[in-house]
Structure 1
């Protein structure tokens, strides 16, 4: 896969060198507040997760995109297409999600990167539907989902964490109508 570029970002497949800046992001309690059980991740857990993300590309031909600030080369975080195995009731499904370092919040980077990854999922991978799952209190992610055109489907609970979440989705047809509008 070639890199995807926007006017501010480069989205590329992850590499092992991303582990260090990603570990800093995963160690921030504010960043991790709405992720899984809300606990921060160690550098070792981050490295293992990154290795899994790299391997996932070989299986699915899609996966986690490292988000790089085009002008400076800074690692901002990631946007991903992945199977949401943590929520079996939506499977089979592909989820779009994002995680950015706190200093990059509020600049539109999540929306900008996710727009391109959503396009990649529908146009390059041929996906029929993409879901996004958020902690009920995560209003920032809700706003990104709305900007992307995802609609609210239902509320449920993540079994492993007993965490209430909202499931949003967009179909290929809905995406196509939005792109033509």
Structure 2
């Protein structure tokens, strides 16, 4: 089982106990504001998401980690790697992403977890390049990308919802552990 420890977090594979807390995160309109069309996700859609993330681990050798606080064991969200199938022009890429419950924002958890996931991608999985996709105005996620050393690469449009997207990237030659 793949696990990563950071000073405050455990990044790990998903368990059945993660469904309800992740569904609560996905039910928050403010959390979901920048995701897809901005709609919240119920328990069933969250279960489908977790199942898909676990399948990606099995198929790709990477995926989205459940992120828990070391001190309490509480699930705070996810970070990790995925193939952005929703964006055909980037289907050959690997994206790093994150989603945390609102009560965990502004404490550096997203940056801490994403840094560990990026290191995993570039050093453990041997990827030479990683992207991250954001919508203009999502400054919190863009700040995490900047802290990871990622730079804006190009603009595009979401093929289903029509809103603008920015693709950020970093490659192994730019990465500083």
TM value normalised by structure 1? 0.95
- 2:32 equivalent to 1:52: no
Once the 2 structures are TM-superposed, how far is the Cα of residue 11 of structure 1 from its aligned partner?
0.4
Displacement of 1:54: 1.2
- State the Cα distance separating 1:4 from its structure 2 match: 0.5
Equivalent residue pairs, number: 177
**Aligned with 1:169: secondary structure?**
strand
**Could you give the per-residue CA deviations for residues 26-72 of structure 1, whole angstroms, max 9, x where no partner exists?**
00000000000000011100011111111211111110101000001
Structure 2, gaps ≥5 residues long: none
Equivalent in the alignment of 2:116: 116
Distance 1:98 1:173 in 2: 23
Counterpart contact for 1:15–1:54, Cα < 8 Å: no
1:107-162 Cα offsets, whole Å, 9 max, x none, are: 00000000000000011111111000001110000000000000110111110111
Distance 1:80 1:95 in 2: 8
Mapping of residues 145-156 of structure 1, within 5 Å: 145-156=145-156
Match of 1:26 in 2: 26
Q: How does 1:79-158 map to 2 (within 5 A)?
A: 79-158=79-158
Partner of 2:173: 173
C-alpha distance in structure 1 between counterparts of 2:38 and 2:170, whole Å: 26
TM-fit CA distance, 1:16: 2.4
Larger helix percent: 1
- Cα deviation for residue 25 of structure 1 reads 0.4
Structure 2 residue 66 is matched with structure 1 residue 66: yes
Task: Give the superposition deviation at 1:105.
Answer: 0.3
Structure-2 separation of matches of 1:26 and 1:7: 26
What's the secondary structure of 1:137's corresponding residue? Answer: coil
Which position in structure 2 is the counterpart of 1:12?
Answer: 12
**Residue 91 (structure 1) shift:** 2.8
Distance 1:120 1:36 in 2: 26
Q: Distance in 2 between matches of 1:114 and 1:155?
A: 22
Contact 1:136 1:164 (C-alpha < 8 Å) held by counterparts? yes
Unaligned runs of 5+ in 1: none
